[in-house]
């Protein structure tokens, strides 16, 4: 997985589906994986949300439910990648944009990704967010990392004196 090979930490919502496939890829490549769970305990995580847990290096139990944990998920990510997705992912995109994050959209992955260019154009609020579009997953990750590590990149999330790059990434 490109994300892990790039030295990034992968952060997901610790849910089944596309995010978990990314987790398996990152673990296979020796990456560090953090899961931000909607549940308030491992029991709720497994029994109510029927979500995986064995592959995570760190599991955070927010107890905030499916939409609430997305706040923590996005706040804790440096780069947000959107692949497919429905209303939950739309909420994450909105939070990421509002927080001025660097966002990558995997074109051709269905779901809300086709509607995002027109939507982004209507978001006239200057939050500092930058959105990159690419239909090739590897190229998308590369472009995001190039931008993220470029000298002139900054995020409103950072202190005025920018910290050293810590290389986190979420989806």
Binding site for a second copy (CB under 8 A): 9, 32, 34, 36, 40-43, 46-47, 53-54, 57-68, 71-72, 75-76, 86-88, 90-91, 93-95, 97-99, 111-112, 114-115, 118-119, 121-125, 127, 129, 156-160, 163, 166
State the nearest-atom distance from the C-beta of 56 to a second copy, in Å.
9
Other beta carbons within 10 angstroms of residue 150's beta carbon come to 9
- Residue 40 CB, shortest distance to a second copy, in Å, is 5
What is the closest distance, in whole angstroms, from the C-beta atom of residue 2 to a second copy in the complex?
Answer: 20
Cα→Cα distances 70→14, 44, 58, Å:
11, 17, 16
The answer to whether residues 93 and 112 touch, using CB atoms and an 8 Å cutoff, is: yes
Q: What letters, b where the CB count within 10 A reaches 16 and e where it falls short, cover 13-34?
A: bbbeebbbebbebbbeeebbbb
Q: Residue 56 or residue 81: which is nearer to a second copy going by CB?
A: 56
């Amino acid at each position: 997985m490109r994300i892990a090979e790039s030295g990034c930490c992968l952060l997901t919502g610790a849910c089944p589906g596309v995010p978990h496939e990314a987790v398996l890829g990152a673990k296979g490549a020796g990456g560090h994986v953090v899961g931000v769970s909607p549940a308030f305990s491992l029991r709720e995580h497994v029994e109510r949300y029927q979500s995986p847990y064995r592959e995570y290096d760190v599991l955070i139990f927010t107890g905030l439910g499916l939409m609430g944990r997305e706040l923590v998920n996005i706040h804790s990510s440096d780069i947000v990648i959107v692949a497919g997705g429905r209303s939950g992912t739309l909420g994450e995109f909105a939070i990421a944009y509002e927080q001025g994050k660097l966002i990558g959209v995997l074109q051709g992955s269905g779901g809300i990704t086709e509607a995002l260019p027109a939507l982004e154009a209507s978001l006239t609020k200057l939050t500092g967010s930058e959105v990159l579009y690419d239909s090739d997953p590897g190229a998308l990750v590369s472009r995001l990392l190039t931008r993220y590590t470029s000298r002139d990149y900054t995020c409103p999330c950072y202190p005025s004196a920018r910290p050293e790059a810590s290389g986190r990434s979420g989806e």
